Chains A and B, each alone.
Chain A
Amino acid sequence: MKGKVTTIKIVGPAGLGIKTSGLLLSHILLEQGYSVHDYSEYPSLIRGGHNTYQLSFSSTEVKAPFYQVNLLFSLAKNHFQPHLAEMKSKSLIFSDEQNPKVKYLPLEKLAKKAGNPVFKNTICLGVAVFLLDLNYSKSQKTLKNFFPKKVKENLKAFQLGYEYASKNYSSLKLKIDRLKNKKGLTFNDGNEAFGWGFLKGRGDFYAAYPMTPSTGTLHFLAAKAKEYKINVRHAEDEIGVANMAAGAAFAGARSAVGTSGGGFALMSECISFCGITEIGMVFYLVQRVGPATGMPTWTAQGDLLFYVFSGHGEFPKIVLAPGDQEESFEFGWKALNLAENLQTPIIVISDKFLGESSKTTPDFNQEKPTINRGKLLDKKIFKGFARYETKYACGRSYRTIPGVKGGEFLANSYEHDKQGFSTEDPQKATQMMEKRMRKLKTALRITPKPQLYGPKNYQRLIISWGSTKGPILEAMKLAGDQKLAFLQIRTLWPLHSEVKKLINQAKKIIIIENNQTSQLTTLLKAQFDFKPTKKILKFNGRPFFPEELYEQFK
């Protein structure tokens, strides 16, 4: 059947290579033409605990991981137990134990035969490739590329798993739809996708301080820094990170920082500094569960209002929320353009679910986005140049960078006049505040508009933002309701007027968010009369799954 989704899950204690083998299986599927979306859960520990990696794949695009699992591999005894609710009647569990609920798979014995107990994960891959009836030699090839070290041992383990399955599980093969090879697809998580957006958008200064779940972008860009000749800096703390990136942006960089809620708390002073000095830079914020240290490796959308209203004083700020990996890429480069164009801080919100889940995407390395540097005078000035000229209706004034003769100016954290000198003159202060704030109106013309999915003559309208997009779209597919549409708000600040218009056309409104208080409701209520019919909220660190949303749409 076309479009049928199959879900495979590998579980066990940390340190057994669960994510590695899961990713490898995803790549095997990807290279045989399937669309894959993965999701992994892990505690904030290095060893022990309970880790999971799951992937959903299909011959057509999969936009979210599914809850219900077809094949589950448990790498250690009893680790399948927490997942029994995810099993359907025909689902299979494989584990090295005698239990009526599981298919016995002698992992310990086979791994020993392969030469090392660490190969349990690769043995499971062999079993999976057999059960899914995938191409054996192509799968081997993917494996070879994936494990440049220990190839031989891994191939051996893979073969042992495959052979064991063909002897013992030949009646258990799954029916999946076959397809021809698609080309030009890659597998990226949201953090890598944002990193690609940064690189392709000619970002050239990235600073960060490690904080889950944003660290993926730091690792990705640090590994690419030499090739792309860019600055990637792990600074002393998040205060240093933000201020350093602001200094670089002042000097002419296309500059960004990455962190999560706690790190951004330390940066919120600096975002205000960028606001008044009109230094354009990007804050990539990957949410996790708060408050405080919260649950570091789990997902949430609990920082929306904090981000939108961050920083002391009033200044224009743009807040974008990509809904998937493709938009994480797109908003990555667009945010750099917006930062230079609007000369103000741009926030891009992600979360653990989007940032650390991978999906089949186009090859971002082939993309060539347009670069917009705004009103930049990087060679010479014109007569009468004043950095903070207030006469422009769009609020944007021309900007020079150090090295440009005659363009000297002061970027001043105090309120200032057109040249940047401090002033407390009431008239000048009013003019300067109004100049900056006019940029918000300009932003409405150039920021990503809200996106409507589904029928135009909808009766029920789902409203959401960020990473819930994929699960919502998959749930709508399951529901097949001709009167149900979904409005994805992609720019959360400033809000486009279309949002209100589209909401007013709906008879019933369902709001969906990964937080406890429905922060989007609060935000919309502040703008216009807004009353959702139903709120679907989840705040236990887990993303929404298509099946559970579908149940709620009934």
Chain B
Amino acid sequence: MSNLSKYQTGKIPTWCSGCGNFLLISGLQKCFADQNIDTENIVAVYDIGCAGNMADFIHAYGLHTLHGRVVPVAMGVKLYNPKLTVLCIGGDGGIYGEGLNHLITAARANIDLKVFVSNNFLYSLTTGQTSPTTPYQAKTKSTPQGSPLIPLRAIELIKKVNPKVFAKTATNQKPKELFAKIKQAMEFKGFALLDIETECVAFGKQLKQ
């Protein structure tokens, strides 16, 4: 029996309606079901942020880590027990900002982790400040005069770090393609990073001004 509900905790998600994280969680759960992975063999590691708040909603072994630290925690799990399916879920702030060195290291190691970044170009849980992917000059709560930094192009960076890893971009605008890429990432043998561009319905409007 493979059904979606066995990967659900039954908790009602706390995201805004229309938030892109709904699509990511259903894509992940569908992929688990399609591949029929037992819940006890999944370890999902979550960052702090709106994306990381998925922790309460997926039924599996889980670690809701500190901000920025998903990747090393997941590496520890995977190094110790390579049989487990280990994934990381977090935002652009945690994974490309606070924890970028860890991401680069995991890519260099080409360790079999699946990293899903819900890239909303903002720090959303903290109510909308600039993040490593915020467009140059975009006005946010912490950069009312415009963001002084050029955005980080994480996928290009990781591809440069290690061309052998899986590093791709997806968008919430195209759910079908997104689901297919989630599947590709999960099936990839080695390190996989999927950057999912999404719009924060609560704080994303500032970026369009």
Contact = CB atoms under 8 A, between A and B. Distances in A.
A412 interface: yes
A413 interface: yes
A244 B55 CA distance: 19
A265 to B, nearest CB: 15
B56 interface: yes
Contacts of A412: 55, 62-64
A243 B9 contact: no
Contact of A405 (B40, B72, B84, B105): B40
Given A243-B76, A250-B63, A422-B56, A405 B38 contact: yes
Interface in B44-59: 45, 48, 55-56, 59
Interface residues of A, number: 43
Contact of A248 (B66, B79, B104): B79
B35 to A, nearest CB: 17
Interface in A218-242: 231, 233, 235-237, 239-241
B41 interface: yes
Interface residues of B, number: 37
A244 B65 contact: no
A247 B66 contact: no
B15 interface: no
A158 interface: no
A421 B40 CA distance: 17
Contacts, number: 130
A250 B66 contact: no
Nearest to B44: A410
- Interface-central residue, B39, B42, B66, by most chain A CB under 10 Å: B66
A251 B38 contact: no
B56 A421 contact: yes
Contact of A277 (B40, B48, B63, B84): B63
A408 B80 contact: no
A104 B119 CA distance: 74
Interface string B65-108: 11001001111111111011000000000000000011011000
A407 interface: yes
Nearest to A204: B80
A247 B55 contact: no
B62 A251 contact: no
Nearest to A404: B40
B73 A406 contact: no
- Interface-central residue, A249, A270, A404, A411, by most chain B CB under 10 Å: A411
A248 B40 contact: no
A474 B35 CA distance: 67
A60 B99 CA distance: 54
B153 interface: no
Nearest to B65: A413
B66 A273 contact: yes
Contacts of A24: none
A136 interface: no
Given A240-B101, A240-B105, A231 B80 contact: yes
A247 B77 contact: yes
B81 A408 contact: no
Interface string A36-59: 000000000000000000000000
A241 B64 CA distance: 18
Nearest to A277: B63
A421 B46 CA distance: 13
A251 B55 contact: no
Contact of A421 (B9, B39, B41, B75): B9
B161 to A, nearest CB: 12
Nearest to B58: A410
B174 interface: no
A253 interface: yes
B36 to A, nearest CB: 15
A402 B55 contact: no
B69 A251 contact: no
B60 interface: yes
Interface of B: 9, 11, 38-43, 45, 48, 55-56, 59-66, 69, 72-81, 83-84, 101-102, 104-105
Interface of A: 204-205, 207, 231, 233, 235-237, 239-241, 243-253, 255, 269-270, 273, 277, 402-414, 420-422
Given A251-B76, A409-B61, 8 more contacts: A235-B105, A240-B75, A250-B43, A250-B77, A251-B84, A403-B41, A410-B56, A410-B62
